[in-house]
Amino acid sequence: MKEQNGSADSLKNKKVVVLGGSSGIGLAVAQAAAGAGAHTIIVSSNQQRIDNALKEIGMNSEGHVADLTNEQHIKQLFGTLGNFDHLVFTAGEHLVIGSIGDAVMEDARAFFNVRYWGAVMAVKYASPHINAGGSIVLTSGIASRRPGKGWFLGTSICAAMEGFTRAMAVELAPLRVNLVAPGIVRTNLWNNIPQTDRENLYKSFADSLLVKRVGEAEDIAKTYLYLMTQQFSTGQVLIVDGGGVLV
């Protein structure tokens, strides 16, 4: 890792790479980082989504297309980007909810390709390029802490990501590696559910949460910025769920 000018606890003039940064939580993180003075690089598999996202992020941002299930794409991406300060991984497919009895194993395996194996490959090829004082912030969820019926896939991935985060914090030290575990958040990941059902789902969750609302992407983005700039935190899972694991 190489030193870079600027205070380690500030994002001003730092270089932040957000994988999955064209929508949802990733886009909110990219916007927040850019607002804090970082040069923000978003990565997505879709050029149109990148173009639309860059308009929202504004100045001091750029985008790259890469298939985050393709090892060669990821290797080439980080070879092209060179050194940077913070890696954020928020990429993921639409959520899959269903019972183990109805599972199609090929589809179940594919669900891990972006959310788990994509993160593993990103860390492998990005970590040698991260400047001293930088960090990696990965993404999970609260399903492993409070699984529900039909959530066996999401629960498994959340648990795997927690273990991977702790292992990488030890292996890559002093590079810091942390994980954000959001609860229910209003993002496009729920778009495979019909709109009426989706709104009813949001309302049901909101009524059950201690804060009486579901999360917004901007709520969760603050947590990523905190972990990027908090120099004494590594191997941690930071839950941001409106009290979801308590009810």
Q: Please check whether residue 94 lies inside any domain of the structure.
A: yes
Phi, psi of 83 (to 5 degrees): -75, 145
**Amino acid in the structure at residue 179:** L
Judge whether residue 128 has pLDDT over 90: yes
**CATH code, 129:** 3.40.50.720
**Residue 149 burial by Cβ neighbours in a 10 Å radius (0-12, 13-18, 19+):** exposed
Say if 101 falls within a structural domain.
Answer: yes
pLDDT digits (tens, 9 = 90+) for 179-233: 999 999 998 777 777 888 888 889 998 999 999 999 999 999 999 999 999 999 9
**Of 144, 211, 153, 214, the residue nearest 179 (C-alpha):** 144
Domain assignment of residue 39, yes or no: yes
Q: What is the mean pLDDT of residues 131-142?
A: 97
User: 30 lies in a domain?
Assistant: yes
Distance, CA of 27 to CA of 32 (rounded, Å):
9
Number of domains in the chain: 1
The dihedrals phi and psi of 240, each to the nearest 5 degrees, come to: -130, 95
Confidence of residue 6 (pLDDT cuts 50, 70, 90): very low
- 173 within domain boundaries: yes
The rounded distance, in Å, linking the Cα atoms of 185 and 162 is 19
Tell me the residue range of the domain where 66 lies: 15-190+217-234
Q: Which of 3-7, 67-71, 183-187, 238-242 has the lowest mean pLDDT?
A: 3-7
**Does residue 142 lie in a domain region?**
yes
Cis peptide before 174 (omega within 30 of 0): yes
